[in-house]
Amino acid sequence: MSAWIDNNFPLVFLALLDGSVTAFVLALIALGLSLVFGVMRVVNVAHGEFFMLGAVLAWACFHFTGNMPLLGFLLALIVAPVFVGGLAMLSDRLILHRIQYNPESTIVATIGLLYIIQQLVLTFFGPEARPVEAPIYFRVQFPWFGYSGYKLIVAGLSGVLLLGTWFLMVRSKLGLYMRATQQDAETARTFGVPTKSVYSKVFAIGAGLAALAGVLVVPIRQADYLMGLEPLLLSFIVVIIGGLGSLRGTLVAAFIVGISDGFISVFYEPTLAKMLATVLVAAVLVLKPTGLFGEEIR
Amino acid sequence: MNRRAPRKTAMLMAGVLVFLFLLQFILPAYHHSTFSKIMVLASYAVGFNILLGYTGLMSLGHAMFFSTGMYVTGICVYHFGLTGIPALGIGLIITVFVSMLIGAVALRTSGVSFLIVTLMFGQTAFLSVLYFDQFTLGQDGFTLTKELQPLVLGSTSFSYTDPNFKYNAAWLLFAVCLILSNLLILSPIGRVLIAIRENEERTQMLGYNTYLYKLFALTLSGTLSGLAGSVHALLFSYVGATFAEIHHSIAPLLWTLLGGVGTTLGPLVGTGIMHYLIDFTSGWTSAYLLIVGAILVLLVIGAPQGLMGMIRQKWMQWLP
C-alpha cells in the first residue's frame, strides 16, 4: 500500500487537490439545499437551475464589461446572487407559499420551475456551451505539475462563503429566526418570528449560494443550460449521506463525496465516480436510513 | 364506497377498453399510430400511479424500470437474436428482480428521502446505459428493425412494423395494466395500500407489515413500467438513452397528476392530453418545456386532484 502511494504520489496529490476543490464548491451548493430543507422542510429540485443561472449571469456580466474578466467577475459576484435570490423569493411568494410548503407539491412545483428556467435560458442564451475567462490567471508550480491557481481561489472563496453562512446562522438575528423556525415553526410564530418572511429569505439565501457557486465555477467549466442537473444530483447525494437538514452532516458529506470523486475521476472515470457515489448512498441508507448526522424526520 | 361500485367500475373499464379497441377502425393513419404510442406510455403511467396514487410514494426514478425492460428486451433481440416474446419474458423477469432490489433499499427511507433516493438510482441507471456502451451503444442507442423476427402464432405471422399489429398489441398491454390496477385497488391488498397512503403509522398499528406491502406495490409498479418499456422497444423498434433520462421519470408524474392521481383512468387521460398538447403546440413553439413546467406549477396550485379527480369529486364518487 505505502509503496503504491510512493509510486503514484503525484496522481494521489492531484486527486486530493481536485477533490478538495470539488468538495468546497459542492459544500457551497449542498449547503443551500440543506438550509432550505432544514428550515422550510422543502426539497428544492430547481436548486441546480439556480446554480446554472449564476453561471449564465457570470457569462453575461463578463460580456457586459467588455474584455475585463476581473471586473465582470466582481460584478457577477453581486448581480448573480441578488438576481437569483430575488427570483427565488418571488417563486416562494407566488408558488411555494400558496401550496403551504406541502412536501410533495413543492417537489412537483420546483420541477415545474426547473423546466421553466431551463427553457427560458435555452431560448435566450442558446443551446451551446459558452466559456468565461478566469478573472485572474496564474499557475501554482508543484514539483510534479503546475496547477491552476484560479481553482485554489475558488476553493478559498467557497470556504469564506461557508464561514459567512455559518456566521449568519449563529450571530445574526435572521440566523436566530432561522434556527427557531427550523426547530418549531409554530412556536416560533407565537414568539413573534415572522416565519413567512424567514421562509422567503431562506429560500433566497439558498438560491443565492447556488448562484455564487455557479459564478465561481464557470471559468473552470463553461456555462450551458443543462449544467444544473449534475450538481443537483451530487448535492442530493451529499445531503442524504450527511442526513437531511443537518448542516454539519452536509459539510462532512461534501468532503467525503468530493474527495472520493476526485480520486475515482483521476484513477478511473468520472461516470464511474457518479455511479459509485450512488452505491455509497445505498450503503449509508442500508446501515443508517437517516444519514450520518440526520435526526428522525416526520 | 357502496356495494355496487365494483360492478359500475367493471362496466366503465370494459366500456373504455371496448371504445379504445373500436377506435382503431375509424382513426386516420396519423392518429392511429399516435394512439398506439399513447396506450403504451399510458401503461407506464398506470404502473407509476400504483405507487404514487395508491400507495402514496412518489418516485422520481421510474425511467430506470422502463428502461430496464426496454434495454433487456432490446439487447436480447439485438445482440442475441431472440424473437419478441422470449425477449419480452426475459425483460419481465429482470425488471421484477431489479424493482425488488431497488425497492428493498429505497424503501428504507421515507418521505422526501425516498424521492431523492429514487431520483439518484434513476440517474445511476442512466449513467450505466452510457457506461456499458458496448451493449447499449451509448447515447444514440440502436434500432431493432433488421433484427426483430415477426411474431408467429400458429400458422400466421405478424410483423412488428404493421400498424394494426402495433395498435392491438398496445391495446392489449394497456388492457392488462388497466385491469390489473383495478383488480389491485378493489382487492384487500389494495385497501391496505390505500391505508398506507392515508396514514402509514396507523396501518402499522393495525398489525400490517407496511414495508412488505410497499415493497409489493413498488415491485408491481416497476414491473408494469418495465413491461411498457419492453413493449415500447418491440413496437417502436428503437432503444435509446433518452428513455432512461430523468425527464422520462418525470413524464409519468406529469401525466398522472394531470389525469388525476389515484384514479385508474387518470394516467390514460393525462398521457393522451399531454401528447396531443405538445403535438399541437409544436406547430408554433419549440418551447415545450415551458408548457410542461407551467402545467406542473399550475396543477399543484390550482388542481392537485387532476382531471379524473375533479370528475370523481363532482359526479362519480365511486370512481376507483
3-state DSSP of A1-41: CHHHHHHCHHHHHHHHHHHHHHHHHHHHHHHHHHHHHHHHC
- Interatomic CA distance for residues B106 and B108, integer angstroms: 5
Residues of B whose CB is below 8 A from A112: 292-297, 300
- Between CA B231 and CA B89 the distance in angstroms is 11
Q: Which of B55, B300, B301, B305 is best to mutate for the A interface (most A CBs within 10 A)?
A: B300
Helix axes B266-281, B29-55, angle to 10 degrees: 130
Min mean pLDDT across A248-252, B23-27, B256-260 is at B23-27
Map residue A99 onto helix, strand or coil.
coil
Closest by Cβ to A237, choosing from B120, B127, B299: B120
Q: How far is B48 from A172, CA to CA, in rounded Å?
A: 45
Specify whether the CB–CB gap between B306 and B296 falls below 8 A.
no
Q: Who among B116, B119, B293 is closest to A112 (CB)?
A: B293
CB of B50 closer than 8 Å to CB of B189:
no
CB contact under 8 A, B287 and A119: yes
> Which residue in the set B124, B257, B289 is minimally distant from A108, CB to CB?
B257
Report whether pLDDT(A190) > 80. Answer: yes
**What domain count does chain A have?**
1
| Residue B179 three-state SS | helix
Q: Cα separation of B149 and B159, whole Å?
A: 8
Give Dmax over CA atoms of chain A in angstroms. 63
- Which of A47, A90, A113, A115 to mutate to probe the B interface, most B CBs <10 Å? A115
| Strand, coil or helix: A277 | helix
Minimal Cβ distance to A123: which of B287, B292, B304 = B287
Q: A281 vs B120: CB contact, 8 Å cut-off?
A: yes
Specify whether the backbone of A66 is left (phi greater than 0), alpha (psi in -120 to 50) or beta. Answer: left
pLDDT at position A81? 94
- Whether residue B95 is contained in a domain is answered as yes
Query: Under an 8 A CB cutoff, do A116 and B289 touch?
Result: yes
Distance from CA of B54 to the nearest CA of A (A): 15
Which residues in chain B belong to E strands, given as ranges?
Answer: 142-143, 151-153, 156-158, 238-239
Burial of B211 (0-12, 13-18, 19+ CB in 10 A): middle
User: Which of residues 129 through 158 in chain B touch A, CB cutoff 8 A?
Assistant: 130-131
Residue A120 contacts B where some CB pair is shorter than 8 Å: yes
> 3-state SS of chain B: helix, strand, coil percent to 5?
75, 5, 20
Cβ pair A289:B113 closer than 8 A? yes
**What residue type is assigned to position A234 of the chain?**
L
Q: Return the minimum-mean-pLDDT range out of A17-21, A150-154, B139-143.
A: B139-143
| pLDDT band per the 50, 70, 90 thresholds, residue B162 | confident
Q: Is residue B24 part of a domain?
A: yes
- The set of cell numbers assigned to A60 is 453575461
How far apart CA B67 and CA B79 sit, in angstroms, is: 17
The residue type found at B5 is A
Torsion angle (degrees, nearest 10) of CA A100, A105, A108, A111: 20
Half-sphere exposure of B238 (CA within 13 A, CB side): 9
**Separation of CA B202 from chain center:** 29
* Residue A180 lies in domain: 2-287
pLDDT digits (tens, 9 = 90+) for B78-124: 888 888 788 899 999 999 999 999 999 888 887 778 888 888 889 88
> Residue B3: its pLDDT value, please?
60
* pLDDT, position A1: 61
Cα separation, A49 vs A52, in Å, equals: 5
B118 to chain A: which residues are within 8 Å by CB? none
The verdict on A90 touching B (C-beta cutoff 8 Å) is: no
CB B177 within 8 A of CB B38: no
Q: Is the pLDDT of residue B4 over 70?
A: no
Helices A9-40 & A47-64, crossing angle to 10 degrees? 110
Calculate how close chain A gets to B105, using CA atoms only, in Å: 7
- The C-alpha of A69 sits at a distance from chain B's nearest C-alpha, in angstroms, of 32
Alpha carbon distance A75, A267 (integer Å): 37
Report chain B residues whose CB lies below 8 A from the CB of A111: 250, 253, 293, 296
Q: Which value, in Å, is the radius of gyration of the alpha carbons in chain B?
A: 19
CA distance B246 to B64: 9
| CB contacts, 8 Å: A274 with chain B | 123-124, 127
A-chain CB neighbours of B296 within 8 Å are 108-109, 111-112, 115
- Its sign, for the CA torsion B297, B298, B304, B305, is negative
pLDDT at B230 over 90: yes
Distance between the two ends of chain A, CA-based, in angstroms?
45
Q: How confident is the model at residue A121 (pLDDT cuts 50, 70, 90)?
A: very high
Nearest Cβ partner for B116 among A119, A240, A279: A240
Three-state DSSP state, B158: strand
Decide if A294 is inside a domain.
Answer: no
Which residues, at least 6 apart from B20, have a Cβ–Cβ distance to it below 8 Å? B35, B39, B171, B174
Dihedral over Cα of B245, A246, A88, A181: its sign? positive
**Axis crossing angle, helix B246-259 with helix B266-281, rounded to the nearest 10:** 110
User: Percent of chain A at pLDDT above 70?
Assistant: 98
In a domain, B158, yes or no: yes
Asked if B120 and A111 come within 8 Å (Cβ–Cβ), the reply is: no
Provide the shortest C-alpha distance from residue B80 to chain A (in Å): 27
Phi, psi of A59 (to 5 degrees): -60, -45
* Nearest Cα residue in chain B from A105: B300
pLDDT tens for A17-33 read 888 998 999 999 999 99
Confidence at residue A295, expressed as pLDDT on a 0 to 100 scale = 64
**Residue of B112, B121, B296 with shortest CB distance to A111:** B296
Each residue's pLDDT tens digit, A236-279:
888 888 887 788 888 899 998 888 888 887 787 777 877 887 77
Collect all residues of chain A within an 8 Å Cβ-Cβ radius of residue B292. Answer: 112, 115
Q: For residue B63, tell me if it sits in a domain.
A: yes
φ/ψ (deg, to 5) at A66? 75, -130
For cell 407539491, the residue is A105
pLDDT tens for A54-112 read 999 999 988 888 778 888 888 889 999 999 999 999 999 998 888 888 888 888 899 99
Instruction: For residue B56, tell me if it sits in a domain.
Output: yes
A105 vs B: CB within 8 A: yes
Distance CA B278, CA B280 (A): 5
- Say if B320 falls within a structural domain: no
Can you read off the three cell numbers belonging to residue A206? Answer: 439558498
Residue B251: CATH number of its domain: 1.10.3470
Q: Which residues of B touch A43 (CB under 8 A)?
A: 112, 115-116
Name the DSSP letter for residue A190.
H
Contact: B105, A286; criterion CB under 8 Å: yes
Question: CB–CB of B116 and A271 under 8 A?
Answer: no
Residue B219: which domain range?
Answer: 5-314
Question: What does R_g of chain A's alpha carbons equal in angstroms?
Answer: 19
User: What's chain B's average pLDDT?
Assistant: 86
Q: How many domains does the structure of chain B reveal? A: 1
Contact B105 A233 (CB under 8 A): no
Instruction: Provide the CATH number for the domain around residue A14.
Output: 1.10.3470
Which of B165, B174, B154 is closest to B235 using CA atoms? B165
Distance, in Å, from the CA atom of A200 to the CA atom of A92, rounded to the nearest integer, reads: 6
Q: Tell me the per-residue pLDDT of A213-234, one tens digit each, with 9 for 90 and over.
A: 999 999 888 888 889 888 998 8
Bridge partners of A223, per DSSP, are A130
Q: Which of B108, B116, B290 sits opposite A236 (nearest CB)?
A: B116
pLDDT at B218 over 90: yes
**Backbone phi, psi, residue A25, to 5°:** -65, -45
Q: What whole-number distance in Å separates Cα of residue A92 and Cα of residue A106? A: 10
**Is the Cβ of B289 closer than 8 Å to some Cβ of chain A?**
yes
CA B117 – CA B140 distance, rounded (Å): 27
DSSP state of B241: G
What is the CB-side half-sphere exposure of residue B220 using CA atoms within 13 A? 24
CB contact under 8 A, B105 and A278: no
| A36 lies in some domain | yes
What DSSP character marks residue A296?
P
Interacting residues of B19 by C-beta distance below 8 A, sequence separation 6+: none
Higher pLDDT, A243 or A164: A164
Per-residue confidence (pLDDT) for residue A298, from 0 to 100: 40
Tell which residue, A45, A198, A22, has the closest CA to residue A107.
A45
